[in-house]
Amino acid sequence: MSRYNDRLVFSKITEVIDGNTLNQSVKKYAGDYRTQHFDTRSHLFSLIYFNLKGNTGLRDLQTNVANSSKLRGLINVPSVSQFSRKNASRDYRIFEDTFNYLVRIAGKKFKKTNSGNVLKTIKRIDSTIINIAAKLAPSLKYEENKSAVKVSTLFNAYKCQVQRLLGY
């Protein structure tokens, strides 16, 4: 194996996230206020890994990271209860700013590769259901003890636009 090819695919994906952009958002929204170990960068990388891996719970994430020394170097995953508290308390706008930054990067790269305007429109539609405890949102109940919000996202690469629609 080449010495240049021994990195995790996950680290290659996350290297696009600019530290300056993330740090500005963290500072702007006081994301790391009174944080000792589980900083915003680890939180963001945990959430990205959680989605890429298709984990179904925080325990799965904690087990996966604990069993990989390379991942432990990238992500500092705390206890399940601390992770849950940070999910509830950390300002979502930090992650939203990072998402919008990544959309701008993707739009710039797309425009460079599509300079001949061969493709007029590329759209990506994605929907996900975010589960919520039934006690927190009883009006959004979809199963006996679960509530949820459906988030649909339309990404138009040519115009570099993102539209989100919340529903239940």
- Verify that 55 and 107 share a domain, yes or no: yes
Same domain, 70 and 131: no
Whole-structure pTM value: 0.71
Domain that holds residue 92: 1-113
80 shares a domain with 162: no
87 and 58, same domain (yes or no): yes
Q: Indicate whether 125 and 75 sit together in one domain.
A: no
- Based on the domain organization, do 101 and 19 belong to the same domain? yes
Write out the chain's pLDDT in tens, 168 residues. Answer: 455 566 778 888 888 887 888 999 999 999 998 888 889 998 999 888 888 888 878 888 888 888 888 888 888 888 888 888 888 888 988 988 888 888 788 777 777 665 555 555 666 667 777 777 777 777 777 777 777 777 777 766 666 556 655 555
How would you class 31 by CB atoms within 10 Å of its CB: exposed for 0-12, middle for 13-18, buried for 19 or more? buried
Whether residues 19 and 80 fall in one domain: yes
Q: What CA–CA distance (Å, rounded) separates 63 from 77? A: 10
